[in-house]
Structure 1
Amino acid sequence: MERPTRYWVRALLILLLLTEQSALGFSLFAPTLPKVAAEFQTTQVVWVMTAFTLSGAVASPIIGKLADLYGKKKMLVVTAAIGALGALISATAPIFPVLVAGRFLSGAGFACLALGYTLIRDTFPARLQPISISIANTGVGAVGVGALLVAGVLIDHLGVRSVFWFAFGFCAIGALLTFFFVPETPIRSHARIDWLGAVLLAASMFVIMVGLSRGKEWGLTDGRTITCVAVALVGFAVWVWWERRTDEPLIRLDLIAKPALRYTLIGGGIAYGATTLLASLTPMLLQAPESTSYGFGLSATEMAGWLLPGQLMIVASGFIVGATAKRIGFHNHLVFGAVFIATAAAVLSAVPTVPAVIVLAWVVFGLGCMIYAAVPNLALLALPETERAVGSNFVGVAQTLAGTLISTVGFTVLAHYVVATDGHGVAYESAGFRSAFLVAAGAAAIGALVSLAIPRNERAVASHTH
């Protein structure tokens, strides 16, 4: 007997609590960066974001394979529980490295979105699958709007640690409700976990980020910096060798041989990295004290209000892509989106002290976020149906790793302009923010140029699909 529609509506609402974890990991915590830097007296605050994205990129394919082996609902609950533990550790962290460790655990939540999609596909009635997946996908953008406001209110009234407590409750409640009220899929498949590939990739990324983030403190020519870079390069080389050798790799590197996917991967990944950096820098700029000559001294809630028009445009950009796909094509969405992002970053670098300009630039940035919808569609078009799931996972991992690296580079540049570290936070020269915004602008521009190399036949397919 088929379950009533209200049962599936309840299941979908519960799943939405967990599928939004990746979006919450950015939007909820970007406003915390200035307060975290002040409380822990650190210039390495970028690790609040990069620890989350790095672990998410590496853990997602592993969790996906474990879900094939043991059940998607089961792994969704386990993943949410790990996220809750990470948030609890961060909320109670006595020192900054412990907070970062908690964020690293919370990165497991990246896998929740893909697990939620596949659970809907495996268990929901066919008539409800399209609308359920669309609601879940739209929610990823919509949650960013609410998350900024929620974070602002929490920070201003209860302190920065309340954001981590909120994340803990969100994950814990989601895990419990999923356990009791969401059905499990009976579908199982054999999968071998590439543990060595995961360790090699995570270790290599971690080491190179340490080298980059400590570059100012150690010096770019210091033996420790050079050693980190050298070890990371060797690690990447060994990882590539292993991934090409093993039967079930963490990431199918042979897919890069397809030009359409290769240029989508590189162009989209670099442009995505620019959005990650901008989303971290802008809240810091707006919340910086007015005494810094570049800051606006906004509270976290006021900052969220300033960015609200742009956040709404991010949501709208997804609908714009869907509505114009046949006429414009996903390739052009990617190119134009990257150009919009580069323009917004360049404007923020050139005129970072005029309120109206910042709000307008953030709206342009939001429009540029059409790349979020364009890149997955381009990846699907570039691959045969039998390889689409693997290819989409590859693109997701690449985007996340690119965001991690570009954010680290941007914050490394910013760290060269520190002028004071005290109980009120970390103060920078205005040139630091200008330079960091230029890193984002350059990355997005490079992403647009690379995207132009997507083969013409793929552009034609994109223009006549959807």
Structure 2
Amino acid sequence: MSDALARPAEAGNSAPPRSNAVVAVLAFAGIVVSLMQTLVIPIVPELPRLLDASASNTAWAVTATLLAAAVATPVVGRLGDMFGKRRMLQVSIALLVSGSVVCALADSLTPMIIGRTLQGLAAAVVPLGISIMRDVLPAERLAGSTALMSASLGVGGALGLPSAAFIADNFDWHILFWTSAVLGAVAFVLVLLLVPESEVRTGGRFDLVGSLGLSAGLVSLLLAVSKGADWGWTSGATLGLGTAAVVILAAWGRYELRTGQPLVDLRTTARRQVLFTNLASVALGFSMFAMSLVLPQLLQLPEQTGYGLGRSMLTVGLVLAPQGLVMMAMSAVSAGVTKARGPKVTLMIGALIVAAGYALNIVLMSEVWHLILVSCVIGAGVGFTYGALPALIMGAVDPAQTGAANSLNTLMRSLGTSFASAIAGVVLAQMTTDFGGHALPSENGFKVVMAIGAGAALLAFGLATFLPRHRAAVATAAAPGAAEPVEVSGAKS
């Protein structure tokens, strides 16, 4: 067998019953979470009017979700390893449903922020789903299934945006959140009925101090990054939060290295395969999100600018929708390459495709079909990379640590998207053109952001070259205490 994924089950085990159903349900849950993240996008410009609040305050409806997701992802992943991954998956989906209902009933800012915070706490669904797959699926199904689960993030976002735009344009905006609640409830029931609980657990004591320290550090960092443009990058608030993040995270790392049962095993994350996979994930998260910032603006800016296409938000969603389908199709190809050549090669191929997509966008940006082509090329690359990342992580950690390890990797991608938003925002704010007395991002500004996106993808490629070579077969001890994967046969690192 050429699968590079380490897993607790024996290679000869027969397939568990309903394995197709398990994969379908977990992928559906991932799509629902991704839909939740995109449903609010079409109504963001209208939120000040809808909630009778200022634009700076309604921006917290987006920021709160980002912060909650960053805090919840590593914590819930660790709790899944300790107390059961399906159990924590159900808790996460229940929080999504609760938050959706709160938002659906909201007519003012405070309940909207509370609801969006609850929705953000569901962000661990995808890494938990991947970890469940490792524990319950036969080895030959694992590469393709985890690639599909990773692709569900892009699929949900691509399909959710045009659907949300259509609902927002034609119906009451509260229906967006009722839709999210219903889909979440369906996912909860399907998980309850069809997904088995993993028997791989660590037990032990939950690291409360470590979780509080990591949460405080991440909130400080992400607030400084996401609000720096509004507050001023040299303002006291931005610099203070940035400094606090560095100090808190440094102290947190020192504590985690000394405690017996840490929230994040930093010694494991320092292994070459885990470390460089996570670093590449930051770069890929940056690269993927840069496209999400550029393409919608190019489509919506007035045609009179000479480079804008003057299209509606619904058109934006329809242009980006094929990207999700391409990502899903590429997940199967990604799994095949991973089985044949290893996830390192898959990751490197995907990074190069993403870079090529941005390079293409620099010269093709004047027609709608240009942007459809670009989004599909970049989507193909993302489908490759997002299928390889969990394979690399799970091939280097003990089975009992997969929930925490996959969740940390997801967090790294989220940090990349936050950095992309901040850097692209600075570039587009500095490189402007005057249009009827208003400063709009210039064509060259968009091209610079695309070049940065291509550079981030090439950085991910470079980081991937430091990963160990493909291992022909890897097995792990089933005991939760096993510290290292055991190489059955492999190449040099």
Using the size of structure 2 for normalisation, the TM-score is 0.75
**Structure holding more helix per residue:** 1
After superposition, what is the alpha-carbon deviation per residue over 1:315-351, rounded to whole angstroms, capped at 9, x for unaligned? 1221111223355542232223222223323443555
Q: Does the 8 Å CA contact 1:83/1:108 hold for their aligned counterparts?
A: yes
Equivalent position of 2:420 in the other structure = 406
Q: Deviations over 1:98-147 (max 9, x none)?
A: 6454333212222223444566777x797998699579738725544533
Query: In structure 2, do the counterparts of structure 1 residues 43 and 284 end up closer, same or farther at CA, with 3 Å as the change threshold?
Result: farther
1:189-338 mapped onto 2 (5 Å cutoff): 190-290=203-303, 293-338=306-351
Q: Are residues 224 and 349 of structure 1, via their aligned partners in 2, closer, same or farther at CA, if it must alter by over 3 Å?
A: farther
Q: 2:34 aligns with which of 23, 47, 66?
A: 23
Once the 2 structures are TM-superposed, how far is the Cα of residue 443 of structure 1 from its aligned partner? 2.2
- Measure the CA separation in 2 of the matches of 1:8 and 1:452: 34
* SS of residue in 2 equivalent to 1:205: helix
Q: Are positions 1:77 and 2:87 aligned together?
A: no
Call closer, same or farther: CA 1:58–1:247 in 2, change over 3 Å: farther
Q: Answer whether contact 2:287 2:454 (CA < 8 A) is retained.
A: yes
Q: What is residue 113 of structure 1 aligned with on the other side? A: 126
Q: How big is the shift at 1:365? A: 0.4
Partner AA of 1:75 in structure 2: M
Counterparts of 2:160 and 2:120, CA distance in 1: 17
Alpha-carbon distance in 1 for matches of 2:445, 2:115 = 28
C-alpha contact (below 8 Å) 1:288/1:295 kept by paired residues: yes
Q: 1:137 aligns with which of 149, 156, 160?
A: 149
Q: CA–CA distance in 2 between the matches of 1:292 and 1:383?
A: 52
Matches within 5 A, 1:83-122: 83-93=96-106, 99-116=112-129
Match of 1:345 in 2: 358
- Mean alpha-carbon deviation: is it higher for 405-414 or for 182-191? 182-191
Q: How many residues align?
A: 454
Contact map agreement 1:21 1:109 (CA 8 A) in 2: no
Q: d(CA) in 1 for partners of 2:174 and 2:38?
A: 15
Q: Which residue of 2 aligns with 1:375?
A: 389
**Partner SS for 1:251:** coil
Match of 2:179 among 136, 144, 166: 166
Task: Give SS of 1:109's match.
Answer: coil
Question: How many angstroms does 1:205 deviate by?
Answer: 2.5
Question: Contact conserved, 2:354 with 2:381, CA < 8 A, in 1?
Answer: yes
Are residues 271 and 286 of structure 1, via their aligned partners in 2, closer, same or farther at CA, if it must alter by over 3 Å? same
In the TM superposition, residue 183 of structure 1 has moved relative to its aligned partner by 7.0
Moved more, 75-84 or 12-21: 12-21
Extract unaligned runs of 5+ from structure 2: 1-15, 475-488
Taking only aligned residues, the RMSD between alpha carbons, in angstroms, comes to: 4.2
Q: Residues 461 and 405 of structure 1: is their aligned pair in 2 closer, same or farther, counting only changes over 3 Å?
A: farther
Q: Does the residue aligned with 1:192 lie in a helix, a strand or coil?
A: coil
CA contact (8 A) 2:301 2:310 kept: yes
> 1:410: how far off?
2.6
Structure 1 counterpart of 2:421, one-letter code: S
Structure 1 Cα separation of the partners of residues 110 and 301 of structure 2: 24
TM-score after normalising by structure 1: 0.79
User: C-alpha separation between the residues in 2 aligned to 1:185 and 1:330?
Assistant: 27
Contact 1:338/1:444 (CA < 8 Å) preserved in 2? yes
Q: Pick closer, same or farther for the CA change 1:37–1:206 going to 2, 3 Å.
A: farther
Bigger shift: residues 427-436 or 324-333? 427-436
- Asked whether the equivalents of residues 83 and 203 of structure 2 are also in contact (C-alpha less than 8 Å), the reply is no
Q: 1:194 to 1:298 in 2, by over 3 A?
A: farther
Q: How many angstroms apart in 1 are the aligned matches of 2:110 and 2:157?
A: 27
Residue 154 of structure 1 and its aligned partner are, at CA, apart by 1.5
1:123-181 CA distance string (max 9 Å, x none): x79799869957973872554453334223212322555333321222234335656x4
Q: What residue identity is the alignment partner of 2:271?
A: K
- The answer to whether the 8 A contact 2:289-2:421 is kept is yes
The one-letter code of the counterpart of 1:137 is M
Task: Report deviation, 1:451.
Answer: 1.9
Partners of 1:417 and 1:348 in 2: how far apart?
A: 18
Stretches of structure 1 that go unaligned for 5 or more consecutive residues are none
8 Å contact from structure 2 (residues 25, 195) kept in 1: no
Name the CA distance, whole Å, in 2 between partners of 1:10 and 1:267: 32
Following superposition, the deviation at residue 373 of structure 1 comes to: 0.5
Q: Which amino acid aligns with 1:237?
A: A
By how many angstroms is 1:271 displaced? Answer: 1.2
Q: What secondary structure does 1:247 align onto? A: coil
Counterpart of 2:10?
none
Inter-CA distance 439–461: structure 2 relative to 1 (3 Å threshold): farther
Q: Distance in 2 between matches of 1:383 and 1:183?
A: 23
> In structure 2, do the counterparts of structure 1 residues 166 and 408 end up closer, same or farther at CA, with 3 Å as the change threshold?
farther
| Distance in 1 (alpha carbons) for counterparts of 2:148 and 2:360 | 33
CA distance, structure 2, for counterparts of residue 439 and residue 189 of structure 1? 41
Of residues 226-235 and 54-63 in structure 1, the stretch that sits farther from structure 2 once superposed is 54-63
Alignment correspondent of 2:6: none
d(CA) in 1 for partners of 2:452, 2:112? 27
Same amino acid, percent of matched pairs: 25
